[in-house]
């Protein structure tokens, strides 16, 4: 089962917004939010909450891709998120997430008995490539037990 299929099966909001997983790897995750009238805002573009969910979901996908082999000993949790809406978004949008720290560093902290935190940067783009929003989600790997 792919990460996208797993998240669609376990996170109802992914199914609600019909998010599409275009790429999911430890290096980057790219998700798409189709243009859907029921999730538009007052100017006809995707609602800010839908874009937040798209970007946060992209950050979660890269976290699972990079740290999925650690799930037996730690659970990934979002600690905080900050988003900036830069330009008007109309039509379908994509969110591209990248890790802000090398995965090996994060795993080394977990190995040392710490609860590592790490940022994930996400760029939201419309079809013409313009960045309409930027999000940073700080994640942690909380050790089990």
Each residue of 100-136: pLDDT tens digit? 999 999 999 999 999 999 999 999 999 999 999 999 9
Q: Which domains does the chain have, with CATH numbers?
A: 3-143 (3.10.129.10)
As a whole number of angstroms, the distance between CA 126 and CA 129 comes to 6
- Output the pTM of the full model: 0.95
Phi, psi of 113 (to 5 degrees): 85, 10
Q: Phi and psi for 30 in degrees, rounded to 5?
A: -125, 120
């Amino acid at each position: 089962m792919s990460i996208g299929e797993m998240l669609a099966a376990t996170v109802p909001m992914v199914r609600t917004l019909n998010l599409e997983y275009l790429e999911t790897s430890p290096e980057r995750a790219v998700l798409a939010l189709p243009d859907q009238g029921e999730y538009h805002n007052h100017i006809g573009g995707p609602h800010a909450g839908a874009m937040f969910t798209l970007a946060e979901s992209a950050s979660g996908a890269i976290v699972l891709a990079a740290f999925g082999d650690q799930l037996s000993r730690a659970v990934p949790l979002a600690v905080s998120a900050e988003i900036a809406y830069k330009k008007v978004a109309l039509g379908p949008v994509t969110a591209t997430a990248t890790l802000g720290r090398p995965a090996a560093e994060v795993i080394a902290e977990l190995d040392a008995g710490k609860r590592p935190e790490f940022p994930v940067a996400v760029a939201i783009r419309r079809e013409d490539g313009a960045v309409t929003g930027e999000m940073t989600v700080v994640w942690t790997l909380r050790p089990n037990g």
